[in-house]
Amino acid sequence: MNTTVVTGDQVVNQLIPRITQRMEGLNFTPKLATLMVGDNPSIRSYFRSIKKVAQKYGIEVIELTWDC
């Protein structure tokens, strides 16, 4: 039995070109809404990284927060 190790980078490198090509044919700007509940510094950092990647590929990010 052979074992194949697949990394996240390999998957991303295959998917991103296909996704961006499909997005070019859209008649609208894709959007991503995030909802942060509370004020946790590690979650804020995670959301910043999501926003950075989304904007890199032309996805509009809508940030929603809910204080507890």
Q: What is the pLDDT of residues 19-67, one digit of tens each?
A: 888 888 899 999 999 999 998 899 999 999 999 999 998 999 999 999 8
Among the CATH numbers 3.40.50.10860, 1.10.3720.10, 3.30.1490.190, 3.30.300.30, which is that of 27-68? 3.40.50.10860
Residue 37 CA to residue 49 CA, distance in Å, equals 17
Tokens describing residue 36 = 């942060």
Residue 42 CA to residue 51 CA, distance in Å, equals 14
Q: Domain residue spans in the chain?
A: 27-68
Q: How would residue 12 be classed by pLDDT, with cut points 50, 70 and 90?
A: confident
At 39 the pLDDT is 87
pLDDT at residue 16 tops 80: yes
